[in-house]
Structures are given as structure tokens and as C-alpha cells.
Chains A and B, each alone.
Chain A
């Protein structure tokens, strides 16, 4: 009991400290001072009266949302004596693996830099600045020569690293037993099994209404949809983050989704936020970074070629270029196993005073990175709001998909979860694919790294991301990947090569996500 209490007070202290530095705190202070003018505030009962005022005016709700937001992002309580690196990643061998992976990426980036003799960063001449500013809303029309640039890495390179991950304290054993894991990931992380997943995702069960299933044309809307929309409007009126998060577990109505997600992520477009975005835009105009070319190349290769996202090309540049200059993103490295790459001012190698993080936000884009942003363009059209939403989604979820960690939503756990589910519930299929040299993870890895963006139809993807926000976990990605394999099992049993297996699973655009998840979790005999 005592331990829990002290943990709790530790968390409270940390959250209070975090919020004290935030904009909300100064707003609350101002509101409190202004409320003194009000007739109902009496000196004798000052504290109580102000508290009541906050409640009725909705400010308490805002504070509640901010606390809830912090709790969602905050890692679980640690031992007070734990060093900060344990907050990033408790397991030493994982930290080491992440460190060497980062060294490789940096090396690749530096060598590209030297080969092309392009500086990592340079100040733009005034003429160029003017030109970029005038073209800001249509950067997609630019066709710079990007043929010499290569993406720093692609998901499959990252997969190879994960495959070679080993826990030095764990003896895999030379002999095969029923416990042997047949998949590619060979680290002993705890992943949930289907009973545990059923418990976690209880709202996805067969007896609960879902958007994505119970809003189909044959189902009369009175059965579920109308009531669900009504509740959604109520949640928005109350402006309650926690309620919104609970609500979207059953899916979000199309018309309400943008606002609901903003509420859950606790994003409200304040003038300061818009100003901050404009500041980032100015940074982009003034300085040209090498990563900008990587971003351009990625957008041109992926989103621009997508049948549905090509329309949003310009927005992608506006978001991603600003993102790479945003130093506030560095904050997430406190709980991310990755660390931002450091670079040194020319000639001052190794001297700490001249060290800078490169890129300024510490995130090096890889092939397909722009697909994290593309689906959001469907919902948000105001560049600064789109930017805020993406940034928050990144520091809460997406970063876990390309860093090596033991977190249950980290990509390593997701891969292991996927393989375990498949091996446990479709052993024949798993064995067959393994025999023909088509390890299932080789096919599903790219889906999970991109959170299925670009593979599913947009409306289905948004229904999936509803649940990711609702449960604050990425484990559904692994469950969906396994469900897809289960769905196509009959065809997959007949293939005889990796290429044929890839072909069977090449097109996911017709899949309906929610029925697949429901069947796999709740309707399959285990």
C-alpha cells in the first residue's frame, strides 16, 4: 500500500511539474485572477468558490483532459532510483541494439552526405527563401533532382536487425520442443494471448455495436448507429477526453471524427500553437536541411503515387518539413528507446558545446514515413491543426513502430505477438509458409510498421486508428495482421513460394477491418 501511495504521489508530483510549465497553467492563473471580479467569489470561501467557478466554466474539464493526456503518455511508474535510461528502455540488450542500429543509420546518412558533398544544413540565400515562400502551398509542383538520394533505410532493413536481436541471458536451446518459436523474432518478450486480448478489447466483442460493422447498409440505423452518433455529439459537447477515448473504441462517426481525435489527443488550436507552426515554417524557409530532400523523395515515391493520397501531396510537405525542425519533439526521447542523432558544427567534432541534434527534431525519416501523415489529411485541412495532430500521434504511437524496445506496443512485441498468434491458432498455415521460405512476418512487417497506412482503404484505416486511439495501444495492428492471414488462409495453403504468398496478400484494399478483428478475436474456436 505504502509503495503504491508513494508511486502515486511521485506521479502526481511529476505531472504537476510538467503542467506548471504549460500554457494551460498560465491560462488557469489568469482565469482565477479574472474570476475575483465575479460576485459569487467571496473572500471567506475563496478556494472553494474558485474551484466551483472552474467547474462550471469548463476549465476544470480542460485541466482534467490535460492530466489524462499526461497519464496516457506517461510510462508506468518506475522505481524512484531507476536511471533515466531505464525510462527509455529497461532491458540493456535492447538499448544496446537500438544504439548500434542508430549508429548504422547515422553512418549511412553521413556517407550520403559526403558522397553528394551536400551539407547537412545550410542557410538559404534570400532569393531562394522568397521563392520557397511563394511556392509554400504548392511544393508538390517542384521537381528537384532527387535521383542521387536514397532513403536512409527501408522497413526491410529494420526487420533484419530485429531478426538478429538476441537476449544474451536467454538460452534458446538447440533442440526443438513444442515451446520453440517458429518465427523470425527470437526474444522472450511477454505478449498477450487471445483470452487476454479478448479482455483488453472487450468493446470489440460480438454483442457490442461497432462502426465498421453495425453501420452497414442492411442494418437499420435505429439499431445502433443513430444512438451512437447522438452519444458522440454529447461527448463532444462535454469536451471530455477520457469519455471520447472510451467512445471511439466502438468507432467514430465520419462527421465527428476530426473533433473527437483532437479531443482525445488534447489538441486545441490556440493562437500560440498557430504562431509556433508559423515559426517552424520560417525555419524551413530560412534553412535547407539534407533531410528535406529525403522527405521530398519519400513523398514522391510513396504518397504521390498512391491512388488516394496523391491529392494531399502539398500538405505532406508542409507538415513533414516543419516537423523536422520542431525541437519540442525532442521531449519524447525521454520515453523512447531511441536517442536523437548528434552532429557537430564543422571543425568542432567531439566538443559538446558545439553539438546539435540533427535533424532538429531528432527523427530521421525512412522510406514510407510520409504515410503516417497522409490519412490525417483526410480529416484536417488547416495546416497548423494537421501538424499538431500528426505530431501528437507521432510522439504517442508512431515512434514505437521504428525503435527497438520491449514496450508492449513496440514493434518488437508486435512482431512477436503476430507470430505467436499465428503459430498458436493457425499452426498448419504457419508451418507451411515457413517450409516454402515465406515466413509470415516478412510479409506483414511492412503493414505494421506503417500502421497499415496505404494498404487498407482509407475509411477502414480510420476505423482501425479509432481503436488505436481508443485503447491507447498498437497491439491491434498485430491482431489485424494475423486476422488477415487467417482470412486468406485457404489461398495461402496452396502457394509454393514467397512471391506467390506476397501476391495473395498484395491487395488489402477490399478488406473490412472490424469484421476481421471480431471474427479472429471472438468467433474463432481457440
Chain B
């Protein structure tokens, strides 16, 4: 149960022992009226609570989290779908900082080669704070294209490309000078890095200048891998159950999102070409809703295998695993690891022509609205399996390496496919227990899993 914190309140009841109590009914709450609500409502024994009722499970939006998490008491069994300071991973400026710091640490501890594995993020500078560093880098590489992204917005809003410093000068005078709306200003101010290493403007500065929305300038990847002349990015789902120790699951399905128009560097102003978010594509004049412009990852993996051979594809996917793990490790010490929290991240990955994967961003609230029946199927199964792993019903033993479409990717250390110690593959990455883009026979696996769990319980009782 959850209730508002109260000075005179004293916790009672729930056992602190390792045995998780099996719940006969789970009270859930959510504000999302899409695939998620369908999945929750169909789950046997799960009951919806509305408004101020007490809940055992809350799939919340991050707004609510920010306002209420700190004042909410949660019993041991209660689960909530976000970590308090997830923005350390999902806001572009924080993620860059954490990654840079982690990279330095790796270099100190394990050498340059290991640290180079963190080079999956295009060079990024926070603006306006790192403006001078950015200009230095800019001048070192004349002629390349940069992309400007607002730190806190999603769905492709506010993003633009540029090649000349003049373009940002104009932008600085123009939009940068504009006061962000009160909501955006709240978001910008509310996200304070507890470690305090973040550039904080003194109150004097703030009095003189109009509060500016934070942006990052990132090196634009000019040689993306194209299929049919079109640019695309990959959406992959990673479920993190805890940060300390780090336990992360990788979902086998995902999709590639295609840009509707053909890729060319000539049309920097054409936002539709470069941004592959479905939200942006939907407003493009070329967009036909029936198309959906998405390929399931299985299709993508097969296409690559027929073009480049299975080994190259193995290497690519192994490098993607590396991205997921390293990015999570970089924020491991910073994120408040609350045992009530879990989080389903949507990773956006871009592949370049050398088959190198790049991390574009991590989403704490990946869209759960379906754009097509196939998409609905994917998201519904994804959410069902997420709930299986959250395991409010206390059915799992905790030793499972696979639940439905999720494979346990990291369990305080690499998880190998077979029993025994994991081997190092040629790339120097671990041969992890991941099957991204592979066949997802989740129904059969779940049947087998729950059947064996049931018989185990019968045997032990």
C-alpha cells in the first residue's frame, strides 16, 4: 500500500524477510490510456484503482514522480515504474556528463582500450555552458554538420541542424532569447544534479539574463546506414530492475523507424529527412499512415545478414549490447537505487555505414501508443513480459535468465548464454545472453516457465 508520508506515521505490517508475500489481488494505477491500460486490465487478479485509492503498482508519468515521489511512503512490495532521478540517464546533457566521467574512470582503471568502448556517443557539448569548448571543437573540424537538440523535449521538437557558427549566433539571438513556457522552465530548473557538478548559474546571472532553455550541440552522423536510400534509427527496449546491483533485461523485439524521404546532406533544413521519430514523420507531407514506416528488428537483422553475412551482424549486435551495458554502468552510482523502482527504457540507436552503432538517446517513457496492429502486438507483449519480471505475483525464483521476450543481459556481471563463465568474443565484449532481433517464441517459453515454476512449488510445499 502507499500513503502520504506523515510525521506521526509509523510503518507496520509488511515482513522484512526474504519471502515475498504472494498477493491475491494487485491494485494498479496508471494515467496512460493506451496499450498499457489494456495489458493491466487483462492481467488476472489485477484491479484498477482510481484517484486517491491506495495502490500496489503504479505506472506513473514522470511529472507525477517529480512532484510526489519524495512524499510517498511505499510498502516493501509496492512497485513504481520509474527511478527517482532517471534523468541522469535520459536527459542528454546529464548522460553526456556521466558517460564522460565513467570513461575517464575506465581509462584510469582498465586502460585506453577499455575506455574506447565508451565511444558510442557522438561528441556533445552542453549549451550555453560549454559554448567555448564547443566553438573550439567546431573550429577544429570545419565543414561538418552539427545537430542542436533541446535537453528536455521529446518527439523531435525543437531540433535543427547547422554547419556554420553564424546559424547558432542567429539562433541565440532568436529562440534562445525567448523565455521558455512556464512548464519548460519548471522542468529545466527542477532537474538539479544532486552531485552539484553541473554548471549552476548564480542568481545574479539569472536576474540579468532571461532564463534560457538548455540545449546540446552534437556532432551529426553524416554517413548513416541507408536502406532503400532512407535513413532509419533503431528502437530497443531495456528493462532495469535495479541499479545496485545492476540487473538489466533486453527485449528481443524492437523496430527500425524509417525516414519518409531520401537521405541527402543537401537538405539540412528539411527536418523530415533527418529526424526519424514517428512523431515527426507523421507531420511530413509524404506520410501515409498505413505505411507506419517501421520494420520489426527481425526483418532488419535478416536484411543485414543477407547483405553482410552473419558474423558482421553478430559484431554489430554485440557492440549494441556494449552500449546498453556501459550506459547503465555510467549512471549506476548516481541513480538512487530504490528497491521499489524499475524502469523500461527505450534506447534510440543509429547505425552508420561502417556498421558502427551510435547512441542517440535513452527514453525513460518510451511511447506505448501503438501505430499499427503489429506495433500494438509488440508493445502489449513487451508490457506483459515487463509485468512478469516485476513479478507482483511472486512466481519467479529470481534465477531465471529468460522471461518471455526478455533475456537477462546483466546481473551484476555479464550473463552467459550457456552455464558456466562467459567467454570473450572477438570484439572483446562478453558473449552475453542477448538475442536482439532473434526469434521471439515468448508464448512457448512462458508456458514452459510457469509450468515448471508451478511444479517446483508443488514439490517444495
Whether A258 lies near B228 (C-beta < 8 A) is: no
User: Whole-angstrom distance between the alpha carbons of A459 and B307 in the complex?
Assistant: 14
**Residue with the greatest number of chain B CB neighbours at <10 A, chosen from A141, A307, A308:** A307
Query: Does chain B have a CB within 8 A of A254?
Result: yes
Whether A141 lies near B261 (C-beta < 8 A) is: yes
Whether A308 lies near B299 (C-beta < 8 A) is: yes
**Residue with the greatest number of chain B CB neighbours at <10 A, chosen from A307, A311, A381, A458:** A311
User: Whole-angstrom distance between the alpha carbons of A311 and B307 in the complex?
Assistant: 15
Partner of B295, one of A258, A308, A314, A377: A308
Binds A, one of B42-50, B142-150, B152-160, B285-293: B285-293
B223-253 interface mask toward A, CB cutoff 8 Å, 1 = contact, 0 = none? 0000111100000000000000000000000
User: Whole-angstrom distance between the alpha carbons of A379 and B302 in the complex?
Assistant: 10
Query: Does chain B have a CB within 8 A of A217?
Result: yes
CB distance from B188 to the nearest CB of A (A): 38
Query: Does chain B have a CB within 8 A of A304?
Result: yes
Partner of B228, one of A141, A305, A311: A311
Partner of A254, one of B229, B288, B302: B302
Query: Does chain B have a CB within 8 A of A34?
Result: no
Residues facing B in A261-282 (CB within 8 A) are none
Whether B310 lies near A314 (C-beta < 8 A) is: no
Whether A255 lies near B310 (C-beta < 8 A) is: yes
Query: Does chain B have a CB within 8 A of A310?
Result: yes
Known contacts A255-B310, A305-B291, A377-B228; A314 and B302 CB within 8 A of each other:
no
Query: Does chain B have a CB within 8 A of A137?
Result: yes
User: Whole-angstrom distance between the alpha carbons of A141 and B267 in the complex?
Assistant: 14
Whether B286 lies near A255 (C-beta < 8 A) is: no
Whether B291 lies near A255 (C-beta < 8 A) is: no
Query: Does chain A have a CB within 8 A of B309?
Result: yes
**Residue with the greatest number of chain A CB neighbours at <10 A, chosen from B230, B372, B441:** B230
CB distance from B227 to the nearest CB of A (A): 5
Query: What count of chain B residues pass the 8 Å CB interface test?
Result: 28
Residues facing A in B335-377 (CB within 8 A) are 372, 374
Residues of chain B within 8 A of A312, CB atoms compared:
228
Residues of chain B within 8 A of A305, CB atoms compared:
288, 290-291
User: Whole-angstrom distance between the alpha carbons of A459 and B438 in the complex?
Assistant: 13
Residues facing A in B278-314 (CB within 8 A) are 286, 288, 290-295, 299, 302-303, 305-307, 309-310
A115-147 interface mask toward B, CB cutoff 8 Å, 1 = contact, 0 = none? 000000000000000000000011011000000
CB distance from A479 to the nearest CB of B (A): 25
Whether B295 lies near A141 (C-beta < 8 A) is: no
Query: Which residue of A is nearest B230, CB measured?
Result: A311
Partner of B306, one of A258, A313, A314: A258
User: Whole-angstrom distance between the alpha carbons of A137 and B261 in the complex?
Assistant: 12
Query: Does chain B have a CB within 8 A of A402?
Result: no
CB distance from B16 to the nearest CB of A (A): 42
Known contacts A305-B290, A458-B299; A311 and B227 CB within 8 A of each other:
yes
User: Whole-angstrom distance between the alpha carbons of A190 and B442 in the complex?
Assistant: 46
Query: Does chain B have a CB within 8 A of A150?
Result: no
Query: Does chain B have a CB within 8 A of A59?
Result: no
Whether A137 lies near B262 (C-beta < 8 A) is: yes
Whether B306 lies near A141 (C-beta < 8 A) is: no
Query: Does chain A have a CB within 8 A of B439?
Result: yes
Residues facing B in A221-248 (CB within 8 A) are none
User: Whole-angstrom distance between the alpha carbons of A313 and B286 in the complex?
Assistant: 13
Query: Does chain A have a CB within 8 A of B102?
Result: no
Whether B291 lies near A138 (C-beta < 8 A) is: no
Whether A254 lies near B305 (C-beta < 8 A) is: yes
Query: What count of chain A residues pass the 8 Å CB interface test?
Result: 25
Residues of chain B within 8 A of A158, CB atoms compared:
none
User: Whole-angstrom distance between the alpha carbons of A326 and B161 in the complex?
Assistant: 43
Whether A255 lies near B228 (C-beta < 8 A) is: no
Residues of chain B within 8 A of A459, CB atoms compared:
302
User: Whole-angstrom distance between the alpha carbons of A381 and B307 in the complex?
Assistant: 9
Query: Does chain A have a CB within 8 A of B258?
Result: yes
User: Whole-angstrom distance between the alpha carbons of A353 and B228 in the complex?
Assistant: 43
Residues of chain B within 8 A of A257, CB atoms compared:
306
User: Whole-angstrom distance between the alpha carbons of A132 and B258 in the complex?
Assistant: 24
Query: Does chain B have a CB within 8 A of A378?
Result: yes
User: Whole-angstrom distance between the alpha carbons of A315 and B299 in the complex?
Assistant: 18
User: Whole-angstrom distance between the alpha carbons of A257 and B441 in the complex?
Assistant: 25
Whether A141 lies near B291 (C-beta < 8 A) is: no
Known contacts A307-B374, A308-B295; A378 and B306 CB within 8 A of each other:
yes
Whether A311 lies near B286 (C-beta < 8 A) is: no
Residues of chain A within 8 A of B295, CB atoms compared:
307-308, 311
Residues of chain A within 8 A of B262, CB atoms compared:
137-138, 140-141, 314
User: Whole-angstrom distance between the alpha carbons of A458 and B302 in the complex?
Assistant: 10
Residues of chain B within 8 A of A141, CB atoms compared:
261-262, 286
Partner of B229, one of A137, A308, A379: A137
**Residue with the greatest number of chain B CB neighbours at <10 A, chosen from A141, A254, A257:** A254
Whether B228 lies near A315 (C-beta < 8 A) is: yes
User: Whole-angstrom distance between the alpha carbons of A255 and B312 in the complex?
Assistant: 11
User: Whole-angstrom distance between the alpha carbons of A137 and B258 in the complex?
Assistant: 17
User: Whole-angstrom distance between the alpha carbons of A379 and B438 in the complex?
Assistant: 19
Query: Which residue of A is nearest B438, CB measured?
Result: A217
Query: Which residue of B is nearest A143, CB measured?
Result: B286
CB distance from B313 to the nearest CB of A (A): 9
Query: Which residue of B is nearest A458, CB measured?
Result: B299
User: Whole-angstrom distance between the alpha carbons of A137 and B303 in the complex?
Assistant: 20
Query: Which residue of B is nearest A381, CB measured?
Result: B307
Whether B228 lies near A378 (C-beta < 8 A) is: no
CB distance from A127 to the nearest CB of B (A): 20
CB distance from B107 to the nearest CB of A (A): 37
Residues of chain B within 8 A of A381, CB atoms compared:
307
Residues of chain A within 8 A of B303, CB atoms compared:
378
Known contacts A254-B306, A255-B309; A217 and B439 CB within 8 A of each other:
yes
Residues of chain A within 8 A of B261, CB atoms compared:
138, 141
A174-201 interface mask toward B, CB cutoff 8 Å, 1 = contact, 0 = none? 0000000000000000000000000000
User: Whole-angstrom distance between the alpha carbons of A525 and B295 in the complex?
Assistant: 40
**Residue with the greatest number of chain A CB neighbours at <10 A, chosen from B261, B306, B372, B438:** B306
A273-315 interface mask toward B, CB cutoff 8 Å, 1 = contact, 0 = none? 0000000000000000000000000000000110110111111
Partner of A138, one of B229, B258, B299: B229
Whether A310 lies near B291 (C-beta < 8 A) is: yes
Whether A311 lies near B306 (C-beta < 8 A) is: no
User: Whole-angstrom distance between the alpha carbons of A377 and B307 in the complex?
Assistant: 11
User: Whole-angstrom distance between the alpha carbons of A311 and B259 in the complex?
Assistant: 10
Whether B306 lies near A379 (C-beta < 8 A) is: yes
Query: Which residue of B is nearest A459, CB measured?
Result: B302
Query: Which residue of B is nearest A300, CB measured?
Result: B288
Query: Which residue of B is nearest A138, CB measured?
Result: B262
Known contacts A254-B305, A312-B228, A378-B306; A307 and B286 CB within 8 A of each other:
no
Residues of chain A within 8 A of B258, CB atoms compared:
311
Query: Which residue of B is nearest A139, CB measured?
Result: B262
Residues of chain B within 8 A of A307, CB atoms compared:
291-292, 294-295, 372, 374
Residues of chain A within 8 A of B309, CB atoms compared:
255
User: Whole-angstrom distance between the alpha carbons of A311 and B255 in the complex?
Assistant: 14
**Residue with the greatest number of chain A CB neighbours at <10 A, chosen from B294, B295, B303, B441:** B303
Residues of chain A within 8 A of B290, CB atoms compared:
305
Known: A141-B261, A314-B228. 15 other contacts (CB 8 A): A137-B229, A137-B262, A138-B229, A138-B261, A138-B262, A141-B262, A217-B439, A217-B441, A308-B295, A308-B299, A311-B227, A312-B228, A314-B229, A315-B228, A378-B306
23 contacts between A and B (CB under 8 A): A137-B262, A138-B229, A140-B262, A141-B261, A217-B438, A254-B302, A254-B305, A255-B306, A255-B309, A258-B306, A304-B288, A304-B291, A305-B288, A305-B291, A307-B372, A310-B293, A311-B228, A311-B230, A312-B228, A313-B228, A314-B228, A377-B228, A459-B302
Task: Give A contacts to B, CB under 8 Å.
Answer: 137-138, 140-141, 217, 254-255, 257-258, 304-305, 307-308, 310-315, 377-379, 381, 458-459
Shortest beta-carbon contacts, A-B, top 8: A311-B228, A138-B262, A255-B309, A254-B306, A312-B228, A254-B305, A310-B291, A311-B227
